[in-house]
Amino acid sequence: MARPLRIQYENAYYHVTCRGNSGQAIFSTDADRVAFLDLLERSSDIYQTQILAYVLMSNHFHLLIKTPSGNLQELMRHFNISYTSYYNWKHDQRGHLYQGRYKSF
């Protein structure tokens, strides 16, 4: 069964959250948090979005994002792939980092 399409709007505000796979940590060190924020900033610049607030917990994160171009899906795909690649490389792991897709409200 196909996933339902995400409806995106221009100039919308989104609360985005994503959890670690099986509740596992997605940040093992402070360096991981720094890399996460750096990759988030780079991704936001590429897709011309605004990160208004963030909360980083050990096993999940929350973001408040404004999307002037209505491109949340592209931003999150790029960012989640980038951070997962970094984390798996840094910690010599393979596979999923996140538990399913991100959620946005």
Q: Which residue has the tokens 């949340």?
A: 72
Domain 12-104 carries which CATH code? 3.30.70.1290
* Residue 8 pLDDT: 83
pLDDT single digits (tens) 46-57: 999 999 999 999
Separation CA 72–CA 6 (nearest Å):
9
Q: Are strands 60-67 and 103-104 parallel, antiparallel or unpaired?
A: unpaired
CA 15 to chain CA centroid, nearest Å: 11
pLDDT single digits (tens) 86-96: 999 999 999 99
Task: Read off the pTM.
Answer: 0.92
pLDDT single digits (tens) 11-64: 999 999 999 999 999 999 999 999 999 999 999 999 999 999 999 999 999 999
* Residue 48 pLDDT: 98
